[in-house]
Amino acid sequence: MNVHRINRRGPDGRIRPSAKWCVGLRDHRGRSRRVAGYTDKAATEELGNKLVRLVAARAARGLLDKDLATWVEAMHPTLRRRLLALDLLDPQAIDAAKPLLRHLADFHQALLDQGRTRDYADLVRARVGHVIAGCRFKLLSDIRPSTAERYLADLRRGAAASPTDGEKRRRAISVQTAGHYVASLKAFCNWMVRDGRAAENPLASLRKQNPAADRRHVRRALAGDEAQRLLDATRDGPSRYGIDGPERAAIYWLALETGRVDAYATDDVLLYGLISKSKNPDQWQVTGRFLSYDPYGLMVPRNDSTYRRIGTILLADLMRSGEMLEIYNKWFNPGPTNINMPISDTLSTAFVIQALPH
């Protein structure tokens, strides 16, 4: 590497040295390169020293050290374009100079673009960000498998300090949860490689441990009325994963088909419908007394008393004439789907009451 000035011919024909110093050096392939520096010779020499280190890293196909990565990150765009044009700067070196959290934000968006749910993308980002902050990784060159393993071990022991408050300790995590952290970290680094941001996965050697050796929650069968409370809460609960409460309760009921539970309670018409769709309908029966009385109804426009009055009269006429019972048997006993739901005493009584003159 050498620092020199270039002689240039001025408008008057006289040859004068240029105002700026230049750096002359050879790149990683032995080709001669020249980079314009500054008017100050010392500043240009410092630039030359950094370029020599940059060429050495380029030749070794290694990551930039923290000092050099910080310099590349803060480099003037004009100089960066010039170094890229001269092949002195590897595009991966620019990515390696970016803070890891910026890469993590891009990874999060990539997961969403791949069709992953936002909950999944947020969870993976949180796990990776947790380790990055806990290990104090700033750049790609900072990542060390041993540091990550040590931090995950501290998390399992509950000895990991909070990155925002060093005095506060995080709650211990299980081996299985630690494995999820490892999977998220490796997925992030593998994406960096696929996207051309890293030459290799720095956490390729990171391994999960056997979760069977540290089982935190042993599964057991539901006892007593726990199953009933679960199904009631599911049926009346909100939608989850795009499935409403009653549908999720019906899915739980399907576990009966595999012998996982012993009984299921819901509206009688739903029970008869599930039995009719069962592989072995004869193995099931609706039994016991009603646990609650929840009449079904018809929705009519608000404050439309005339429409509601017409509906009430027509239904009462059907019940009074006995036609309502014929309609019921047509659809439910046995019905086109063989639901085989005989009319209950409670519903028969309701028909009689509703048939009374208004």
Do 169 and 236 sit in the same domain of this protein?
A: no
Q: Pick 32 or 271 by higher pLDDT.
A: 32
Which residue pairs, CB below 8 angstroms and at least 24 apart, start in 255-260?
256/284
Bond from prior residue into 145 cis (ω within 30 degrees of 0): no
Tokens standing for residue 202: 């720095």
Q: Does the pLDDT at position 53 exceed 80?
A: yes
Structural domain count, the chain: 4
Residue 296 in any domain: the answer is: no
Q: Does the pLDDT at position 224 exceed 60?
A: no
Domain boundary pick from 77, 96, 115: 96
Residue 295 in any domain: the answer is: no
Q: Does the pLDDT at position 153 exceed 60?
A: yes
- Give 176's pLDDT tier (boundaries 50, 70, 90): confident
Q: Are 267 and 294 in contact (CB under 8 A)?
A: yes
Q: Pick 30 or 71 by higher pLDDT.
A: 30
Do 203 and 242 sit in the same domain of this protein?
A: no
For residue 235, the enclosing domain spans: 226-283
Q: What is the rounded distance in angstroms from the CA atom of residue 234 to the CA atom of residue 248?
A: 7
* C-alpha angle 15-49-54 in degrees, rounded to nearest 5: 115
- Give the residue-averaged pLDDT of 276-281: 75
State which amino acid sits at residue 258: T
Domain boundary pick from 173, 188, 213: 213
Phi and psi dihedrals of 82, rounded to 5? -65, -45
Spatial neighbors of 14 by CB under 8 A, at least 6 apart, are none
- The structure's pTM equals 0.49
